[in-house]
Amino acid sequence: MANPLPAPDLLHAIPWDALLIHFSEIALKGGNRHRFVEALQNNIQRVLRDDPVKVSAYHDRLIVTTQQGSAAALIEKVSHIFGISAVSPVRLLPSTVDAMRTAALETYRAAPPGATFAVRAKRSNKRFPMTSSQIQFEVGGYVKEQTDATVCLGCPDVLIKFRVSDNCIYQEGPAVQGPAGLPLGVSGRVLTLFSGGIDSPVAAWMTMKRGCTTDYLHFHTYPSPEQVLHSKIYSLIRDVIAPQGRSARLILVPYHPFEEMLLGSTIPQEYELILFRRFMARTACALARKNRCAALVTGDNLGQVASQTLENLSAFDQACDLPVFRPLVMANKNDIIDLAKKISTFAASVEPYKDCCSLVARGPQTHPRLVTIQRIESTMPIAETVETAVQAATIHEVE
Ligand code: ATP
Ligand code: MG
């Protein structure tokens, strides 16, 4: 059997001068649609702020125009932006069949000799004098006549696509999938509890993908917050937000107020971690309110470790007076790891780091009773400790 031909590198062989951006869910937004499209437009502009581009909105798509020949280089950046389902390079052609003939021939000639091809056309401009199938027949016939190439409609080596729209014709190149979801910023602000393990960066990414801007909260064991800024916590947050062209607020809280509260106490060891997590919950809610975040987000995953049983997750929630979102709660660990690799956080996540949870006694009670937890807490200065932690919190910008 003959070896298949290598796929032609159409992305780089053709001087694309624009990007065609498709969005999926935004199209369903009815009366709010304008707000969503505008947010996506601004987000694209922000990510491409160093490039000379213009982002224009049309009914079901956006067009990013740039200097001739330079559009392909922008695809990678754009393909990470939330709200985008697919992005393809395009070039803008005059509204003539001749322009399509010339473009199709040039495209076919960029492929290795012997490649099969097909022409596909879509026509939204009903005033154009030819139907889609007439265009396909005419342009395809021209390429065949000039090159003697074989047409393969089912699985061509080279697919040459045209969209005949109102003011011009687009030739469309190979599409790259985006993350889909909603544009960042349309769903409000939340506070992500960030530990720097595998799960919390993925949880933050999924939260942003649903349109939420997020601040980050990390409880640390360093003598000073500046040391956290040189740790993987800072760089991981940057890895999550940088593809969206944003900076983010990182709130750092020292672990020692909790440690000092435990000194000299005689609480059962198997309750220490639960108490610590409820201390995190209360401190997080107080800081969320102070910073106008409407909910907490965690990377909890049901049953992953002893502190994430149904009872322990519920004990955390009982200490909160804000909603707690857990994007990963029902996911399989392998799927979380795959996503962490896809968004490039996995490698840093598995680097060693001394998280405060590791200082608290291991082996937590897996089926704690809320009354028992509350009885233990009633013997301790919980509110004062939370207040001390809130006062000790420092805020930093992750650029
Ligand atoms: P991850 O993989 O996200 O680090 P984990 O597997 O280490 O989580 P836990 O230590 O039980 O699991 O943490 C569960 C969740 O609690 C984390 O996803 C995070 O949202 C929150 N959390 C844990 N430690 C901290 C911390 N030091 N600061 C802020 N939030 C934390
Ligand atoms: Mg986890």
Q: Residue 7: what pLDDT?
A: 60
Pocket test for ligand 1, best of 198, 200, 300 (most atoms within 8 A of CB): 200
* 380 CA distance to ligand 1 middle (Å): 24
Instruction: Give residue 167's pLDDT.
Output: 87
Q: Say how many C-beta atoms besides its own lie within 10 A of residue 54's C-beta.
A: 11
CB 376 within 8 A of CB 271: yes
φ/ψ of 332, rounded to 5, equals -80, 145
First to last CA, the chain: 54
Residue 10 is predicted with a pLDDT of 83
Domains and CATH numbers, the chain: 9-90 (3.30.70.1510), 95-167 (3.30.2300.10), 189-398 (3.40.50.620)
Closest C-alpha among 243, 143, 136, 199 to residue 349: 199
Return all residues near 43 (Cβ < 8 A) that are at least 6 apart. 81, 82, 83, 183, 184, 185, 244, 245
Distances (CA, A) of 283 to 207, 256, 299, 329, 385: 21, 13, 17, 22, 9
Q: Which residues of the chain have pLDDT under 50?
A: 1-2
Cα 209 to averaged position of ligand 1 atoms, centre (Å): 20
Query: For a substitution probing ligand 1, which of 219, 240, 280, 357 has the most ligand atoms within 8 Å of its CB?
Result: 357
Residues 6+ apart with CB under 8 A from 201: 194, 236, 237, 239, 240, 299, 340, 343, 345, 349
Q: What is the pLDDT of residue 2?
A: 44
Atom of ligand 1 lying closest to residue 304 CA: 6
CA-based nearest residue to 47, from 82, 12, 85, 11: 82
The residue type at 360 = V
Q: How far is the CA of 384 from the centre of ligand 2 (A)?
A: 29
Confidence at residue 1, expressed as pLDDT on a 0 to 100 scale:
41
d(CA 207, CA 38): 20
- Closest ligand 1 atom to residue 356 Cα is 27
pLDDT at residue number 351:
96
Q: From the CA of 305, how far away is ligand 2's center (Å)?
A: 7
Atom of ligand 1 nearest to the CA of 307: 11
SS3 20: strand
pLDDT of residue 328: 98
Cα of 357 vs centre of ligand 1, distance in Å, is 8
Point out the ligand 1 atom lying closest to the alpha carbon of residue 217: 29
State the DSSP string of 65-80. E-STT-SGGGHHHHTT
Element holding 250 (H helix, E strand): strand 248-254
| Global pTM value | 0.94
Cβ contact 217:191 at 8 Å: yes
Taking the centre of ligand 2 as the mean of its atom positions, its distance from the CA of residue 299, in whole angstroms, is: 6
pLDDT at 70: 87
CA dist 222 and 212 (Å) reads 29
Ligand 1 proximal residues by C-beta, below 6 Å: 193-195, 197-200, 217-219, 298-300, 304-305, 307-308, 355-357
Atom of ligand 1 nearest to the CA of 308: 11
DSSP 8-state assignment for residue 214: E
Per-residue confidence (pLDDT) for residue 394, from 0 to 100: 98
Q: In this structure, are strands 394-398 and 248-254 parallel, antiparallel, or unpaired?
A: antiparallel
Judge contact between 373 and 278, C-beta under 8 A. Answer: yes
